[in-house]
Amino acid sequence: MSLLEARRIFETYLAAQNLKHSRPRLQVMESFIAAGEHLTAEELHRRVKRKFPHIGVATVYRTLKLMHAGGLCGELKLQDGTTRYEALCGRDHHDHLICTRCGRLEEVVDPDIEALQGKLFKRHGYRPQWHRLELYGLCGSCLKKSAAPGTQEG
């Protein structure tokens, strides 16, 4: 997603909520989009501070919450206990493939799975709102490493 696009969406959201688009807010948002990764609040704070040293953690948390409320980012509570944020705006739903060794996080989509999930909701009398699917395993490169001598895992 482009920075400009994100900025437009963010500003639209802020305006709609009667919120100000303050400099720190935009700086956090821009750093987040520029990172293009799934970051924790702390990681984002470190990144933001590289360019804007004065910005505090609280602002990062507050801005992430705003962006989440505005649909600009998603919040992922992963199994390892961390909470990561991902850019969402203008993007379709996707699931996550996560390497338990190196932490690599890939976005994946499978329309067939999505369709079956919809049926599952219906079968149980639920109205779907959203879902999350996280697939944990070892990625190709970690598999190679674990095949190499000296490194192995159960």
User: Which member of 2, 12, 22, 146 binds DNA (CB under 7 A)?
Assistant: 22
Closest separation between CB of residue 30 and a second copy, Å? 27
Closest separation between CB of residue 36 and DNA, Å? 20
Helix H segments across 17-54?
23-35, 41-51
Site track 119-148 with a second copy (rule: CB under 8 A), x = hit: -xx--xxxxxxxxxxxxxxxxx--x-----
Q: Which two tokens stand for residue 101?
A: 């060794």
Kind plus residue range of the DSSP H or E element containing 54 = none
Distances (CA, A) of 95 to 55, 66, 148: 32, 23, 30
CA 113 to chain centre: 21
152 binds, among a second copy, DNA, none (CB under 5 to 8 A by kind): none
Closest separation between CB of residue 83 and DNA, Å? 4
**Phi, psi values for residue 84, rounded to 5°:** -120, 150
Sites of contact with a second copy (CB under 8 A): 75, 77-79, 81, 97, 99-100, 106, 108, 110, 112-113, 116-117, 120-121, 124-140, 143
